Structure 1
Amino acid sequence: MADASDADVDPDRWSAELESKRAEKDEFFADHPQSPIPPDERDEFSGLDYFEPDPDYRVTATVEVHDDPEVVLMETTAGREMRYLRTATLEFELVRDDPDLQDGTFELGAYEIERQSDEPLFIPFRDKTTGQQTYRGGRYMELAPDRDLETDDEIVVDFNLAYTPFCAFSETFDCPLPPEENWLDAAIPAGERFESN
């Protein structure tokens, strides 16, 4: 699998690509008609807030594929429920130099909307930054493997790509909230910040 290993990743190139993606997203938020920033606030928008790129949060996860996926009902910010299928569980390890940050082995569910299996895997999560340094409703990641995953595959999960759902910027959006099984008992200071909670 093309994204299964970090062995050949050039850290400078990785960081430059990440910064380029962030600049591109800021441009979208500032100018695009589909930006979640309300039109009357776009002139004042000066860019999203991010944690510094940190390769410690680019982790290799071991995949467990669920051949008979369970339905998971996710509540939304508008009080509805959305039906997802838990199609895989990703197990990964966090090892950091900071004694104030909890290390260990963690799991995240990866989901697909029912009857939309061609979409990227959806990984909503909360962590110990939620509601403090990041949006109170949690953050999202997406994974688009280059082939169907199998149990015991390894895949890179880059928390530096974790993003804030659109509903944080406008109540016109209705966003699924991470299920309790994806509440991480660790701080993940990577990806997008959002302090106006």
Structure 2
Amino acid sequence: MKVKLFHILTLCTILSTLFASGQDFSSKKKYLAAIREERAEKDIEFATSDKSPIAPADRAAFSGLNYFKPNPSYKIIAKLEIYNNPDTIKMITTTDRRPFYLVFGEAQFKLKNTDYRLTIFRNIDLMVKPGYENYLFLPFTDLTSGAASYGGGRYVDLELKNDGMVEIDFNRAYNPYCVYNKKYSCPIPPEGNFLNTAIKAGEKNFVH
């Protein structure tokens, strides 16, 4: 009887593990499909929209953006330390424009078994606009900057929540608009937001 019970429990454990693995596979598949769909939609927008950063004269030759292959390991949950008395700074940009940003807090996370910290910002003008109440801005550079990705760094949009955590999805890292068109003025990531690792995720450098 005890042997039979043991076999039943073992079978239940195996089935439970297989079920969990199946759920993980399904979730990963949906996530990767969502990333690919977002990228396809962005290509269409850049090729056809009046709001595209691609100059009208260059749109006919535009064949799409370049990306690293989506990798779920670059989607991470970070601890968000919100500063009690945040400073307001004039963000350095690619032009002489100096927009005001709030130094909102610090994201603390582990990636490739290494601990990292990145400063999170909020655009003073943008944060008071409807729909942007929870918008956070993460500019960064890494070991791919200037090679596989744009030398001036990339951005990740974040959402403020009430649980003290923030999701950072580097698969959604994107280039500043000045990469495509020099008429744009783009924030330059601060030196402290350099990641001493290759973030092989998100958008690659744009070749004109």
Question: For the superposition of Structure 1 and Structure 2, which TM-score range results when normalised by the shorter chain?
Answer: 0.7 to 0.9
Does structure 1 conserve the Cα–Cα contact (< 8 Å) formed by 2:174 and 2:202?
yes
Whether 1:113 and 2:130 are equivalent positions in the alignment is no
> Partner of 1:49: helix, strand, or coil?
coil
Provide the residue aligned with 2:177 in structure 1.
166
Match of 1:135 among 150, 154, 162: 150
Match of 1:90 among 99, 107, 112: 107
Change (3 A) 1:116 1:41: closer
Match of 1:68 among 64, 77, 85: 85
Q: Output the CA distance in 2 between the equivalents of 1:115 and 1:169.
A: 24
CA displacement at 1:79 relative to structure 2: 3.1
The structure with the largest strand share of the pair is: 1
**Which has the greater radius of gyration?**
2
Provide the residue aligned with 1:100 in structure 2.
none
In the alignment of these two chains, the number of paired residues is: 180
Provide the residue aligned with 1:18 in structure 2.
35
Change (3 A) 1:115 1:45: closer
Runs of 4+ residues deviating >4 angstroms = none
CA displacement at 1:75 relative to structure 2: 1.0
The answer to which structure, 1 or 2, has the higher relative contact order (CA under 8 A, 6+ apart) is 1
CA displacement at 1:186 relative to structure 2: 1.4
In structure 1, stretches of 5+ residues that fail to align are 1-6, 96-102
Q: Output the CA distance in 1 between the equivalents of 2:207 and 2:127.
A: 34
Identity of aligned residues (%): 37
TM-score, normalised with respect to structure 2: 0.81
In structure 2, stretches of 5+ residues that fail to align are 1-22
Does structure 1 conserve the Cα–Cα contact (< 8 Å) formed by 2:65 and 2:206?
no
> Partner of 1:117: helix, strand, or coil?
helix
Q: Output the CA distance in 1 between the equivalents of 2:87 and 2:192.
A: 13
TM-score, normalised with respect to structure 1: 0.85
Match of 1:46 among 47, 59, 63: 63
Root mean square deviation of aligned Cα: 1.9
Q: Deviations over 1:56-90 (max 9, x none)?
A: 10111011011211123321111332221111210
Q: Output the CA distance in 1 between the equivalents of 2:38 and 2:173.
A: 12
Question: In the alignment, residue 106 of structure 2 is paired with which amino acid?
Answer: T
Q: Deviations over 1:143-163 (max 9, x none)?
A: 123x4x46xx22221100000
Q: Output the CA distance in 1 between the equivalents of 2:148 and 2:206.
A: 5
Does structure 2 conserve the Cα–Cα contact (< 8 Å) formed by 1:131 and 1:195?
no
Whether 1:37 and 2:48 are equivalent positions in the alignment is no
Question: In the alignment, residue 112 of structure 1 is paired with which amino acid?
Answer: R
The structure with the largest helix share of the pair is: 2
